Structure 1
Amino acid sequence: MILAFDTYYYDNNAKTIALQFAGWQDTEPLSTYSEIIQGVADYEPRAFYKRELPCILSLLKQIDLSQITVIVVDGFVYLDDKGTFGLGGYLYSALKEQIPVIGVAKTNFATIEKCKEPVYRGDSKNPLYITAIGTDLNSAAQNIRQMHGSFRMPALLQKLDGLTKAV
């Protein structure tokens, strides 16, 4: 089973959604989890994880992780090629390195070159930037590449984004 997470911030609140699905080519989630947290931390440059990680960890308390084989987050696993953790790396560490994490970012992060792989989908000239920990980067990129949907963003990740913004 795969979990994909996204969080949307509004009025000092954070709405976190997780979609659970069985395979990379699935068209619909098997389960949807949701939680709104009030009083979230302010955004801190290069420390986004301080804002989003508590939201993900709180929602994970609702989910049986025994069948989860990988988690997808909206963001980076690493912030640079030295291995400085981003959101995905901190999540992997918080989960005691038991569940691999794949980061899918829509915008490039200039300080990381080798530890990311661009993935082009559909007719888009703009790639998604894939990072991974606990699993091979090339395999992670291929998994995102083969997800259902004909656009840059895989259909389930588009759905996830839409659900977080529906307040």
Structure 2
Amino acid sequence: MGTIELWSWFKEQILRVLDRYVPVRQGGSDQLREPWFTKKIVSLVKQKREADVTMRPDGSHEVMESYRFVRKDLKRELRRARRVHEQTLAESTPEERAQRIAKAVCKQSIDVKENWEQLKTHASNWQNKVEKALEKLQELQKALDDLESHVITAEGVHIDWQPVNDLFIDALQDHMDKTTD
């Protein structure tokens, strides 16, 4: 295989993967929608939902007919829009398809960059909080070490104490001087 054949094979594989996995269009609520959904179809879907809501509790013949008409109109419009979309895809050149795919990839890369920046910001904030907590823990450890040394010193002094009842009144002043030093 020559370089040109390898390049065309590679390009073909990439285009196939992109056609299969890259969404062409997203809805307003960030949910994936079919690319042939037009404003007319969206309004028909809303009408169908409204007709369905009114049909359920009412159940009259006129309301049911209205619902059936809207549902039938929606199905017809969906089939037509999908057929038109598939025809435009079949008629489009590989360059046009590649441009559409490149545009979609570009949009997704922008979204990825924004999400990456948000992630970096959150990670930085989290790291700052962890560092502050570590500093506080180190201060606490130092205070505990100081307390431990004072407790050890106090225990040593306590061991050296002599009971007061064994002292004579004359030696009391000397004993008090020793313990305060």
Greater length-normalized contact order (CA 8 Å, ≥ 6 residues apart): 1
TM normalised by structure 2 equals: 0.21
Q: Highest Rg: 1 or 2?
A: 2
TM normalised by structure 1 equals: 0.23
More helix by share: 2
